[in-house]
Amino acid sequence: MIKINRSMARLGLLLGLLAALLLLSSTKLVLSRADHQSNPRHPDQSRFCDAGKASVLRGTMFSSRLLDRARLLSGAATARQLRKGMASTMEFRSDRINVEIDQKGRVTRIFCG
């Protein structure tokens, strides 16, 4: 009976240590993601968006060429078109330019994120 209790105690200790390791590793993952989001110039990213350089495109008619030009002017790695009220992801990406257009297809806003 004592050997079973010791075996169970060892198993419980081992499972407890495993759970602690998993908890610590997931905490580190969450912290590193939070740091990445709070620091837009994270060293893993090679390109950064500067929406001011693409602001000359406001008021013009939207096209796929304009979206590409906005990306090039801003220095962003990616670009996306948004319409007012359109569902979109909310994560901040320092390497993305967003071009918002109205119902007539005119560019109303250009911003990074």
pLDDT-derived band at 21, boundaries 50, 70, 90? low
> Which CATH class for the 51-112 domain?
alpha beta
Comparing 8-12, 34-38, 44-48, 90-94, which segment has the lowest mean pLDDT?
A: 34-38
Closest CA to 111 of 60, 70, 69, 68: 70
Q: Are β-strands 107-112 and 96-101 bridged in parallel, bridged antiparallel, or unpaired?
A: antiparallel
More confident residue, 93 or 10: 93
Q: Average pLDDT, whole number, for the chain? A: 77
Tens digit of pLDDT for each residue in 64-103? 999 999 999 999 999 999 998 888 888 889 999 999 999 9
104 has a pLDDT exceeding 80: yes
Task: Note the pTM of the prediction, 2 decimals.
Answer: 0.58
The pLDDT of residue 108 is 96
Comparing CA positions, the residue from 103, 57, 113, 68 lying closest to residue 83 is: 103
